Structure 1
């Protein structure tokens, strides 16, 4: 088809559209037509409703009146040779776009453009201002309860490689908080807030953890999750391209990406030798997630993901680019301007590949980009399971899960918030 389109452009004389007489740009679906009739024919093929002429099926189709009768225009499209079997399905269009994107990535030059360097600098600034690997800003949380085990722990505990630390999660230093403090971190007025969009949320009332709680680590883990979500929201808001999107698309992207960005950030403090997440003054292990009510179906692949990603030895620039790639995913539910988000993601992918090609010196650096994409693809499969399990836990201990977390995992569109 591309060869046919070139054939028209090679002619010195302008050619007329066989349907309406407008200037033809090339051969489309086996006939020489203008762009307008090309798009009309594609849409007409995909319509389920049959077109009918309100007159005698003899309408004259010209450039000025071609919109007057769709039925006669469609009939003329067929008469000049346009073929319905040449119109690609949605799946074929998506696959064609993927092929073009892969080709662009493979042909990308091994150098960073000024725009790419600027994008990386912006991501680094946003990341460093919203992520503290020492977790020094994480305070006012309900304490971790590791004494009482969950009643379902034995059946839920995932099978993980044995290590001295897997079953012994202890705080490295005592947190600077009153053990009696049971208040969840409030969502600050400066945070993005899915719940009420930019409106300040009221602090959760101080309450004691019920002695009959099934999941003893849940209050603390949910406080940690709320804290991480707030920082991820602020990271996203720091990006100029993110702020330029509509409010609805911003919320849809965040709802879809928050869990994944959270895991990418947790991976930066994961110790593969001990299987411990070293979050400043507190260390976490997989048993803490079990005590919070999460199950094997999520924890096993998640544990494997952290080991796999951490062993890639990513630099800080690569971590922030991966976070941005995850954030700008055009296929998140509710995203309206998919083409805009898709272009942003493609630019980030090209930037990541250029960074690896320019800055990496290891002999197998060409494998890093596909390995990262494989990790992100694997994590996408966990997002749905995470939301499902949070909702199940919420049924048993609703008082321990903040409205912000519930909004992240809910499937309701942003217009309902």
Structure 2
């Protein structure tokens, strides 16, 4: 389904340049379109009257702007010129002003037609028509005004946001009954950001150095007491976040309407993805720390638990890039809902129904972005968010592998709820 909704990419519209009124005059019977000819590209155009650079056919003759205007004024005003010489003056770009009589005669001899000169009223009318058409073209190429969210979409957004507020606590204010790790520093840890060489130009801290990574990932490495102390806390926080996702999903009517087996299949497939989206709201892209109320977590904590470099560095980059989008609460929640209602999860039976629900969520997200974001932001934001969901799939698959790696490395028993999710 995501491939289908992804086709809502913006169409690039080429802005057609407006026609400028160059003052050329055409007959009121539209003789212009029949008499004007097109010169081959790249061929230099020369005014037949004076030899200056021509701008096109005017009054049925290839001519320059100067001779075009001179002929129109002379005929319109009915001026009679007299040649002071032999009525055979040379008319060139440099001398065309010396004898107006010979210049006018040369215009006529070249084939300029008096009947193609429009009256002042007709000229004003033509200019008005041109301006109107120009304005119409300009209006057409402007970004289409975003359609207002429907009442149903407004209600859906409000429902999801309310359910999210009741059940998702990214600041962990309700995370009370947990086993604190010996190593984790609360409050103070916010000032110690990991400096991975791939993420910053600052010198890496010892805990993130290549030597540290090599030691941690060595087959003979024995988990430190600090790492062991982190695992019970890791179990508690994982259980807490999974419970939040389950509560959130159960309050969504579309989710409750599905068979229980499909509900389980969707939760098993989407929970870790939704958790990543939730903790992004408290991620500080400057310090690379998740500021969860009184407790803060850094990449160092993940390293001590046993997560590997090949997983943690892409995770950090993912959170940095997502955080920079400055998503609204509604965008985060709709993104979580789209991830939840994925019809391609293993074990799903009502695929068509779930696909329709996901499409409804995706369309609502697109409409919300179009209506609430400036055009320069909304053009690509929706496409970026679809790519976020794709990237989440890859991170979640690696996250599952990492969890089993931690279990095997530390001879650690995974919490039952987490085990159910990653099984």
- Normalising by the smaller structure, the TM-score range is 0.5 to 0.7
SS in structure 2 at match of 1:355: helix
Aligned residues of 1:270 and 1:278 also touching (Cα < 8 A)? yes
Equivalent residue, structure 2, for 1:359 = 372
**Distance across 2 between alignment mates of 1:135 and 1:103:** 38
Which is worse superposed, 272-281 or 295-304?
A: 295-304
For the pair 1:249 / 2:235, whether they are aligned, the reply is: no
Equivalent residue, structure 2, for 1:405 = 418
Equivalent residue, structure 1, for 2:199 = 161
Deviation at 1:382, TM superposition (A): 1.3
Deviation at 1:110, TM superposition (A): 2.4
**Distance across 2 between alignment mates of 1:166 and 1:278:** 21
From the superposition, tell whether residues 274 and 98 of structure 1 become closer, same or farther in structure 2 (CA, over 3 Å): closer
* 1:310-332 deviation per Cα after TM superposition (whole angstroms, max 9, x unaligned): 00000101110011011011111
The unaligned stretches of length 5 or more in structure 1 are: 1-93, 149-156, 170-209, 411-417
From the superposition, tell whether residues 330 and 145 of structure 1 become closer, same or farther in structure 2 (CA, over 3 Å): same
Equivalent residue, structure 2, for 1:113 = 150
Equivalent residue, structure 2, for 1:49 = none
TM-score (norm 1): 0.59
For the pair 1:234 / 2:247, whether they are aligned, the reply is: yes
Query: Counterparts of 1:368-387 in structure 2 under 5 Å?
Result: 368-387=381-400
* 1:243-278 deviation per Cα after TM superposition (whole angstroms, max 9, x unaligned): 001111100100011111001000000011111100
From the superposition, tell whether residues 323 and 102 of structure 1 become closer, same or farther in structure 2 (CA, over 3 Å): closer
From the superposition, tell whether residues 98 and 273 of structure 1 become closer, same or farther in structure 2 (CA, over 3 Å): closer
For the pair 1:329 / 2:342, whether they are aligned, the reply is: yes
Query: Counterparts of 1:252-291 in structure 2 under 5 Å?
Result: 252-291=265-304
Equivalent residue, structure 1, for 2:164 = 127
Equivalent residue, structure 1, for 2:80 = none
Query: Counterparts of 1:7-26 in structure 2 under 5 Å?
Result: none
For the pair 1:144 / 2:167, whether they are aligned, the reply is: no
Deviation at 1:364, TM superposition (A): 2.6
Query: Counterparts of 1:171-320 in structure 2 under 5 Å?
Result: 215-320=228-333
From the superposition, tell whether residues 312 and 103 of structure 1 become closer, same or farther in structure 2 (CA, over 3 Å): closer
Aligned residues of 2:277 and 2:336 also touching (Cα < 8 A)? yes
SS in structure 1 at match of 2:147: coil
From the superposition, tell whether residues 147 and 307 of structure 1 become closer, same or farther in structure 2 (CA, over 3 Å): closer
From the superposition, tell whether residues 275 and 102 of structure 1 become closer, same or farther in structure 2 (CA, over 3 Å): closer
From the superposition, tell whether residues 164 and 106 of structure 1 become closer, same or farther in structure 2 (CA, over 3 Å): closer
Aligned residues of 2:273 and 2:392 also touching (Cα < 8 A)? yes
From the superposition, tell whether residues 290 and 163 of structure 1 become closer, same or farther in structure 2 (CA, over 3 Å): farther
* 1:45-75 deviation per Cα after TM superposition (whole angstroms, max 9, x unaligned): xxxxxxxxxxxxxxxxxxxxxxxxxxxxxxx
**Distance across 1 between alignment mates of 2:182 and 2:269:** 30
**Distance across 2 between alignment mates of 1:104 and 1:311:** 23
**Distance across 1 between alignment mates of 2:265 and 2:182:** 34
**Distance across 2 between alignment mates of 1:166 and 1:305:** 20
**Distance across 1 between alignment mates of 2:288 and 2:224:** 30
Aligned residues of 1:302 and 1:382 also touching (Cα < 8 A)? yes
Cα-Cα RMSD: 3.0
SS in structure 2 at match of 1:294: coil
**Distance across 2 between alignment mates of 1:324 and 1:147:** 32
Aligned residues of 2:196 and 2:204 also touching (Cα < 8 A)? no
Deviation at 1:401, TM superposition (A): 2.4
Aligned residues of 1:249 and 1:337 also touching (Cα < 8 A)? yes
Deviation at 1:159, TM superposition (A): 4.8
* 1:335-369 deviation per Cα after TM superposition (whole angstroms, max 9, x unaligned): 11111111111111100000001111252321110
SS in structure 1 at match of 2:376: coil
Aligned residues of 2:149 and 2:371 also touching (Cα < 8 A)? yes
Aligned residues of 1:232 and 1:261 also touching (Cα < 8 A)? yes
From the superposition, tell whether residues 167 and 277 of structure 1 become closer, same or farther in structure 2 (CA, over 3 Å): farther
From the superposition, tell whether residues 241 and 225 of structure 1 become closer, same or farther in structure 2 (CA, over 3 Å): same
From the superposition, tell whether residues 354 and 293 of structure 1 become closer, same or farther in structure 2 (CA, over 3 Å): same
**Distance across 1 between alignment mates of 2:368 and 2:310:** 35
* 1:193-221 deviation per Cα after TM superposition (whole angstroms, max 9, x unaligned): xxxxxxxxxxxxxxxxx985754422212
Larger Rg: 2
**Distance across 2 between alignment mates of 1:372 and 1:219:** 34
